[in-house]
């Protein structure tokens, strides 16, 4: 006996509804092709139909979103003023309020200028600075905790616009973790990210703080907030004055490595040893330093990081390769000796009817050692009355090494004799 399998019948109304839906999707697809002929044809037109007929994001929409993010971020940021060496004016830099009256900022070359009251501490290799700000500036914010780094996203960089912060959207294709000798945790390399200016604070659209943009060895980086806070905590602790080892090193290139008999990248090579410095009896020119305090010195930047953070009296244990043998050498850092220059160090302009007026005195020069100051007027130089700037310089240059010339200077209403020694 044959058994016939019965299939459920589809009603006429259902068939008509399915046909109408199919025709509607076809019409939408044709409409999309007519409206946006430049867009590629999709192999499956059903899924992207609605996105093809919807209008693209406009610059106005992006501007509105940036304005909303700026309102969210601006209260979280402090602005600090700083004039980098060589800059023509004071500039404002964004800073992250940290604790009490301190904020974290990256200030270009802040470690190369004399200490300033408003700067509590500076880390020389990174330019990270702890800056004193008003307690009322900024407010506590949230630090971003990443779940994935390898996804494209829009970030927002805070850069200065006059005296106030400006928020700029930055498209980032991915964040690539990598190690850096300057930081205790991984940093994020940002491939081809336009708009990330070193020193800019970086946030998500939700106002979460990622960190600070930086440039290290030509690579664009974002230093995570956790790494910044950890270094800031170390910088806030009492420390000894800066120390030095009395040596200079350079990168170990292929030619030097072959001559010395080591591998390129195994360390840095000693180029000069101060005969009066702490390393005078311990190191020699041509020594290869492979590590300092168990940290690799495979690059000159790695060496700079660790040496620039040494305090006077602190010990540096070096792994030194000399004539193929590895030695452990310990050296105590000493306070840097003031540089001594035999240059005159005076900027002079004519002072009609008086002589030459000093407008600037360079540090550690002959003029500085003689106690001369900006505003002093040289009324007599040697036997010459009312000497011109050219004459003062010529008399100084003609004096033999270790010799001196006698100056009469006027400071305010007082005259005095000064010995200017080469």
pLDDT digits (tens, 9 = 90+) for 207-226: 899 999 999 988 899 999 99
The pLDDT score that the predictor gives to residue 7 is 52
d(CA 158, CA 140): 16
51 against 393, higher pLDDT: 393
Query: Predicted confidence band at 66 (pLDDT cuts at 50, 70, 90)?
Result: confident
Query: Domain check: are 275 and 224 in the same one?
Result: no
Bridge-based pairing state of the strands 346-351 and 315-322: unpaired
| Placement of tokens 């020193």 in the chain | 199
Among 373, 402, 401, 398, which Cα is nearest to 383's? Answer: 398
Count: domains in the chain: 3
Q: Give the range among 20-34, 41-55, 156-170, 344-358 with minimum mean pLDDT.
A: 41-55
pTM: 0.68
Query: Domain check: are 371 and 302 in the same one?
Result: no
Share of the chain above pLDDT 70, in %: 83
Share of the chain above pLDDT 90, in %: 45
d(CA 197, CA 157): 8
For residues 165-175, give the mean pLDDT.
Answer: 88
Evaluate if residue 35 carries a pLDDT over 90.
Answer: no
Question: What's 265's domain CATH number?
Answer: 2.30.42.10
Per the domain annotation, does 321 fall within a domain?
Answer: yes
For residues 229-236, give the mean pLDDT.
Answer: 95
Per the domain annotation, does 147 fall within a domain?
Answer: yes
For residues 152-180, give the mean pLDDT.
Answer: 87
The pLDDT score that the predictor gives to residue 296 is 93
Query: Domain check: are 125 and 195 in the same one?
Result: yes
Domain boundary among 332, 357, 374: 332
Query: Domain check: are 98 and 181 in the same one?
Result: yes
d(CA 32, CA 421): 87
Cβ atoms 183, 128 nearer than 8 A: no
Query: Predicted confidence band at 421 (pLDDT cuts at 50, 70, 90)?
Result: confident
Evaluate if residue 60 carries a pLDDT over 80.
Answer: no
Evaluate if residue 49 carries a pLDDT over 50.
Answer: no
Query: Domain check: are 78 and 143 in the same one?
Result: yes
Query: Domain check: are 97 and 140 in the same one?
Result: yes
Query: Domain check: are 118 and 265 in the same one?
Result: no
Domain boundary among 193, 210, 238: 238
The parent domain of residue 261 ranges over 247-332
């Amino acid at each position: 006996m044959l058994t016939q399998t019965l299939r459920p019948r589809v009603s006429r109304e259902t068939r008509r509804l399915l046909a109408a839906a199919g025709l509607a999707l076809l019409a939408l697809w044709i409409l999309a092709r007519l409206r946006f002929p430049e867009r590629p044809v999709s192999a499956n037109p059903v899924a992207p139909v609605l996105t093809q007929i919807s209008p693209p994001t406009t610059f106005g929409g992006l501007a509105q979103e940036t304005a909303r993010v700026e309102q969210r971020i601006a209260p979280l940021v402090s602005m600090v003023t700083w004039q980098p060496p060589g800059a023509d004016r004071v500039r404002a830099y964004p800073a992250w309020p940290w604790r009490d009256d301190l904020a974290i900022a990256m200030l270009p070359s802040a470690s190369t200028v004399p200490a300033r009251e408003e700067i509590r501490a500076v880390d020389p290799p990174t330019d990270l600075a702890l800056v004193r700000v008003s307690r009322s500036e900024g407010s506590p914010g949230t630090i971003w905790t990443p779940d994935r780094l390898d996804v494209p996203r829009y970030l927002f960089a805070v850069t200065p616009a006059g005296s106030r912060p400006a928020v700029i959207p930055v498209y980032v294709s991915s964040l690539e973790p990598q190690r850096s000798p300057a930081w205790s945790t991984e940093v994020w390399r940002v491939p081809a990210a336009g708009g990330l200016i070193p020193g800019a604070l970086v946030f998500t659209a939700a106002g979460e703080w990622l960190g600070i943009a930086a440039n290290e060895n030509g690579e664009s980086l974002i230093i995570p907030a956790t790494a910044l806070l950890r270094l800031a905590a170390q910088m806030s602790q009492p420390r000894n004055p800066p120390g030095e080892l009395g040596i200079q090193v350079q990168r170990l290139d292929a030619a030097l490595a072959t001559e010395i008999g080591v591998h390129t990248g195994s360390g840095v090579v000693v180029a000069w040893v101060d005969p009066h410095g702490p390393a005078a009896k311990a190191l020699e020119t041509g020594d290869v330093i492979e590590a300092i305090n168990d940290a690799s010195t495979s690059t000159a930047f790695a060496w700079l990081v660790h040496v620039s953070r040494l305090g006077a009296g602190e010990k540096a244990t070096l792994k030194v390769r000399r004539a193929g043998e590895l030695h452990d050498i310990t050296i105590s850092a000493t306070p840097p000796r003031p540089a001594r220059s035999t240059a005159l160090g005076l900027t002079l302009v004519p002072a009609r009817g008086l002589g030459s007026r000093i407008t600037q005195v360079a540090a550690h020069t002959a003029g500085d050692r003689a106690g001369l100051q900006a505003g002093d007027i040289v009324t007599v130089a040697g036997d010459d009355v009312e000497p011109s700037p050219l004459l003062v310089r010529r008399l100084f240059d003609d004096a033999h090494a270790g010799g001196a010339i006698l100056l009469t200077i006027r400071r305010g209403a007082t005259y005095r004799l000064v010995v200017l020694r080469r």
